[in-house]
Amino acid sequence: MSARLPNARVQWIALVVGVAALIACGLLGTRDAQQTLLSYLFAFFFLTGLGVGSLALLMIHAVTGGAWGYYVRAPLLAAARVLPLMAVAGVPVLVCTRVLYPWAAPQVYDAQLHPRSWYLTDAFFVLRTIVYFALWLGWLVACQRNLDDPVRLRRIAASGLIIYALTSLLAATDWIVSLTPHWHSSIFGMMVGTGWILIGSALAVLCACAREDADAHPPHLLHDLGNLLLAVVLAWAYLAFMQYLTVWIADLPDENAWYMPRTLTSWRYLAWFLIAFHFVIPFVMLLWREAKRRRAWLGTIASMLLIADLADAFWLVVPSFRAQGFHLRWTDLCAALGLGALWLSAYLGQLRMTRLPTTAFAHVHAELEHHHG
């Protein structure tokens, strides 16, 4: 059950690249702090989702069971253990709330937002973000302490999934929806929570396909992971379509305002990219049985979904402040590279330190014996 990991040099290179890219992002963004923070926010949002989605998938497996979960438990745990880094990475967003969010500017008064003024305050925004990370980290610690006790872990996970649903909904509302404070959606939080589980699944599948001993495992184990990806892709696509359909049918000015820059300008090409690579192509490929049983195909699909979800985070965050059309800034690239490289460095370190209880391997070996028998 060994896995081949990049040597420690890769981890250190990623650390140096990450620090250098974030410094470059800060220097490039001195002229327009708001746009720089937008670049930072979309990268922070995506990478936080990787950790929280991995934690949610761990809890889903604790409730449902199955050998697939033990097979990818190490990469899921490693991704969830990077959440403390993302909690620290959230500090610039909290410190610069008044620069990034229109409702937080002291000179702004809007009669439409006044009834929500108790919720849209700097202090309450910071407090809520701290609570989200405290809850996620608390459930991570509780899960880690009970990995070898399935009954207790199942109880913890069942309540943890309820907490995940609530916190992902509220975090998505705070970090993304409040960028356009007049807009609201009852589906957006569920879509984000499902998307986080999707990228957590994609990362775990990619790591599983990269294992040097993967050929020793029965193809149906990879098939199960492929079915997991298929289910979450369908759930995300359904929620995304229902949100668009609801807004289109209602045809209200406040709700249309969110979609107009994303569909009536050159941002629509990114929307078509997401439809193709976040749903249609993975969906069609995952319907093919052989694609779910071959490491190369499944790894390609997982990589495609990770890239598409990064583009989705960009599409959710940036167009509200670049309504003229699609436009990339150097800060977009530097922020994504900087935070991404730091995340990768921490992830590789956690992956090296992750040690699973022997019961995890026993379940996979039982699957192997059943398959060969």
Please check whether residue 111 lies inside any domain of the structure. no
* Distance in angstroms (rounded) separating the CA atoms of residues 226 and 295: 10
Please check whether residue 370 lies inside any domain of the structure. no
Please check whether residue 12 lies inside any domain of the structure. yes
Per-residue pLDDT of the chain (373 residues; tens, 9 = 90+): 445 556 678 899 999 999 999 999 999 888 889 999 999 999 999 999 999 999 999 999 999 988 889 889 999 999 999 999 999 999 999 999 999 998 887 665 555 555 567 788 889 999 999 999 999 999 999 999 998 888 999 999 999 999 999 999 999 999 999 998 888 888 999 999 999 999 999 999 998 888 766 555 568 888 999 999 999 999 999 999 999 999 888 888 878 888 999 999 999 999 999 999 999 999 999 999 988 988 889 999 999 999 999 999 999 999 989 989 999 999 999 999 999 999 999 999 998 887 654 444 455 545 544 444 4
* Distance in angstroms (rounded) separating the CA atoms of residues 139 and 47: 18
- Provide the domain limits for residue 206: 8-105+119-361
Domain count for the chain: 1
Please check whether residue 366 lies inside any domain of the structure. no
Exposure on the CB side of residue 365, measured as CA atoms within 13 A:
6
How many CB atoms are closer than 10 A to CB 33?
A: 13
Please check whether residue 371 lies inside any domain of the structure. no
pTM of this structure: 0.91
Q: Residue 153: which of 141, 163, 164, 165 has the closest Cα?
A: 141
Please check whether residue 266 lies inside any domain of the structure. yes
* Distance in angstroms (rounded) separating the CA atoms of residues 266 and 115: 35
* Distance in angstroms (rounded) separating the CA atoms of residues 217 and 237: 31
Q: Is 83 exposed, middle or buried (0-12, 13-18, 19+ CB in 10 A)?
A: buried
* Distance in angstroms (rounded) separating the CA atoms of residues 227 and 285: 11
Q: Using alpha carbons only, how large is the chain's radius of gyration in Å? A: 21
Q: Is 307 exposed, middle or buried (0-12, 13-18, 19+ CB in 10 A)?
A: middle
Total length of the chain = 373
Please check whether residue 110 lies inside any domain of the structure. no
Please check whether residue 329 lies inside any domain of the structure. yes
